[in-house]
Amino acid sequence: MKVFRSDQHSLHFPTGELSGGVFVRPFECPERWEYISQSLQENGYNDIAEPDALNMDLLSRIHGADYLRFLQEAWRLWEAGGFKGDALPTVFPARRMQQREPDDIDGKLGYFAMAIETSITAGTWDAARSSAACAQSAAKHVSDGANASFSLCRPPGHHAGIDLYGGYCFLNNAALAAEVLLDGGSNKVTILDVDFHHGNGTQDIFYQRDDVQFISLHGDPNDVFPNFLGYADEKGEGAGLGYNINYPMPPKTPYSKWKEALNDATRNIQTYQPDALVISLGVDTFELDPISFFKLKSDDFTDYGRAIAALKLPTVFIMEGGYAVEEIGVNTVNVLNGFQSE
């Protein structure tokens, strides 16, 4: 399985994030990439490539022009305002307020952000662009005939919507991969999101479309981030009605229950009959993950990798979350090994 990665991920490294009322070292840190990269090498995943340049025309199919402009200029505007630290939003357009992008950088941050744990730094745009380029190249590799590929994306992407960022995400890598597959000849694509947190951004992008089926297995938003999207009654709208499927699950969900949801998800995928599959691979379902509450063990990741392979679809794996740093590499490789074993 070919692996696409870029060292430019390290350009994004905020000094901290607000968690539980305390400013802490970010959970989404460069070590995540390093542990996964090391584990890949130790397990023989040595077919490694740098990505091609990012196709901005493809990216503009999933993100709004104003949003992309904001990401490119945010740090310059922040510095021009005389600010010294990382760029964080402090005000949001809440109910009955104007939904209008201000000129003020503080207002712009709040207008495009969905949460305040996600900082923008001097290197954020370049890192996010390189992460999306990895997803694009991995999808192109599969579109050209490979059975599978893995994109070691950092920063992750599934919380980035049409015109919003948050949850450590700026550009939606999985959505871009789906667009590349469609552009390469697929008529229908399924995105299966197995990250602990709901892929609200991916849902936002494809909610009214029928050429991309979105399925997410995640912690119940009534109990955990992103809180305001990911409920079971969200089915899609217009042409997309019926093609958005959520499986919210409660705290302490064991693998046996999680696997039941996965089995139902695979049946829905088989009914849809896509030409290709994108996996938003978050391994924060692990029992020791510091910001999650599922109870999957390392061997469980191997088992569900086999279940994904049983679908017998060209598959692009896109790295999302996972914050138990010492185990993140093991669990990621276990999914890929399980897939390869089939």
Model confidence at 19, pLDDT cuts 50, 70, 90, reads confident
pLDDT in tens, 235-265: 999 999 999 999 999 999 999 999 999 999 9
Among 145-154, 186-195, 324-333, the least confident range: 324-333
> Residue 266 pLDDT more than 90?
yes
pLDDT in tens, 2-16: 999 999 999 999 999
pLDDT of residue 28: 96
pLDDT in tens, 60-100: 999 999 999 999 999 999 999 999 899 999 999 999 999 99
pLDDT in tens, 201-237: 999 999 999 999 999 999 999 999 999 999 999 999 9
The residues, any chain, with a CB within 8 Å of residue 230's CB and separated by 6 or more, are 198, 200, 203, 216, 218, 220, 221, 246, 248
Angular region, 185: left φ>0, alpha ψ -120 to 50, beta rest: left
DSSP-derived secondary structure letter, 150? E
Of 159, 197, 198, 218, which one is the catalytic site residue?
A: 159
**Burial (Cβ within 10 Å: 0-12, 13-18, ≥19) of residue 41:** middle
The residues, any chain, with a CB within 8 Å of residue 107's CB and separated by 6 or more, are 91, 101
Structure tokens at 188: 């229908």
DSSP string over 263-287: HHHHHHHHHH--SEEEEEE--TTBT
Structure tokens at 72: 């490119």
* Residue 192 main-chain phi, psi, to 5 deg: -105, 115
pLDDT of residue 78: 98
Where are the chain's structural domains? 2-63+124-341
pLDDT of residue 18: 85
> Residue 342 pLDDT more than 90?
no
264-271 average pLDDT score: 98
Model confidence at 326, pLDDT cuts 50, 70, 90, reads confident
101-114 average pLDDT score: 97
Model confidence at 324, pLDDT cuts 50, 70, 90, reads confident
* Residue 2 main-chain phi, psi, to 5 deg: -75, 140
Structure tokens at 212: 């991309």
* CATH code linked to domain 2-63+124-341: 3.40.800.20
Query: Mean of the per-residue pLDDT values for the chain?
Result: 97
pTM score of the predicted model: 0.98
**9 given a catalytic annotation:** no
108-133 average pLDDT score: 97
Task: Identify the sign of the CA torsion 255, 326, 175, 340.
Answer: negative
pLDDT in tens, 141-181: 999 999 999 999 999 999 999 999 999 999 999 999 999 99
> Residue 296 pLDDT more than 90?
yes
